[in-house]
Amino acid sequence: MEDGILGIHHVTAIASDPQRNIDFYTGLMGLRLVKVTVNFDDPTAYHLYYGDEVGHPGTILTFFSWKGAPQGSLGTGQLTATAFSIPEGAISFWADRLRGHGVHLEGPFTRFNEQVLSFADPDGLRLELVSTSNADGGSLWKDGPVRPEYALKGFRGVTITAAHERTTSLLTETMGFRETNQAGNRLRYGVGNGGYPAFVDLVSEPKSKRGVVSVGTVHHIAWRTPNDDQQKVWRGRLVEVGLGVTPVIDRKYFHSIYFREPGGVLFEIATDPPGFTVDEPAAELGTRLQLPAWLEPERREIEDALLPVHLPVVRAE
Q: What confidence score (pLDDT) does residue 275 get?
A: 97
pLDDT at 133: 75
**Average pLDDT over every residue of 106-121:** 96
User: Region 80-99: what's the mean pLDDT?
Assistant: 96
Instruction: Determine the average pLDDT of the residues in 52-56.
Output: 95
Please state, in angstroms and rounded to a whole number, the distance separating the CA atoms of residues 55 and 203. Answer: 29
Give percent of the chain with pLDDT exceeding 90. 86
**Is residue 32 in some structural domain?**
yes
Residue 3 lies in a domain: no
Helix (H, G, I), strand (E, B) or coil at 201: strand
> Where residue 237 sits, what CATH number does that domain have?
3.10.180.10
Arithmetic mean of pLDDT, 100-125: 97
311 located within any domain? no
Residue-level pLDDT at 317:
34
**Across 176-184, average pLDDT:** 94
User: What average pLDDT does this structure show over 131-146?
Assistant: 75
Q: Across residues 67-96, what is the average pLDDT?
A: 96
**Which pLDDT does position 132 carry in this prediction?**
85
Domain membership of residue 221 as a residue range: 8-305
Provide DSSP, 232-254: HHHHHHHHHTT---PPPEE-SSE
**Cα dihedral sign for 219, 224, 226, 229?**
negative
Cα(160)–Cα(22) distance, rounded to whole angstroms? 26
- Give residue 138's pLDDT: 56
Q: pLDDT for 257-313, tens place per residue?
A: 999 999 999 999 999 999 999 999 999 999 999 999 999 999 999 999 999 999 987
Whole-angstrom distance, CA of residue 151 vs CA of residue 314: 18
Predicted pLDDT of residue 194: 62
Range scoring the smallest mean pLDDT among 5-19, 161-175, 206-220: 161-175
Confidence class for position 192, pLDDT limits 50, 70, 90? confident
Asked if residue 180 is part of any domain, the answer here is yes
Say if residues 63 and 15 touch (Cβ distance below 8 Å).
yes
Q: What's the pLDDT at 208?
A: 87
What pTM did the predictor assign? 0.95
Alpha helices (H) in 155-227, listed in sequence order: 166-169
Q: What is the pLDDT of residues 27-48, one digit of tens each?
A: 999 999 999 999 999 999 999 9
| Average pLDDT of span 13-25 | 98
Q: Does residue 19 register a pLDDT over 60? A: yes
Domain membership of residue 14 (yes or no) is: yes
In this model, does residue 123 exceed pLDDT 70? yes
* Mean pLDDT, the chain, whole residue set: 93
Asked if the structure places residue 310 within a domain, the reply is no
Domain annotation covers residue 313: no
Flag whether pLDDT at 53 surpasses 50. Answer: yes
Q: What does the radius of gyration of the chain's CA atoms come to, in whole angstroms?
A: 19
Cα dist from 137 to 27, 143, 151, 303, whole Å: 20, 15, 9, 36
Q: 256 near 40, Cβ under 8 Å? A: no
Number of domains forming the structure of the chain: 1
Over range 8-12, report the average pLDDT.
97
Kindly state whether residue 315 falls inside one of the protein's structural domains.
no
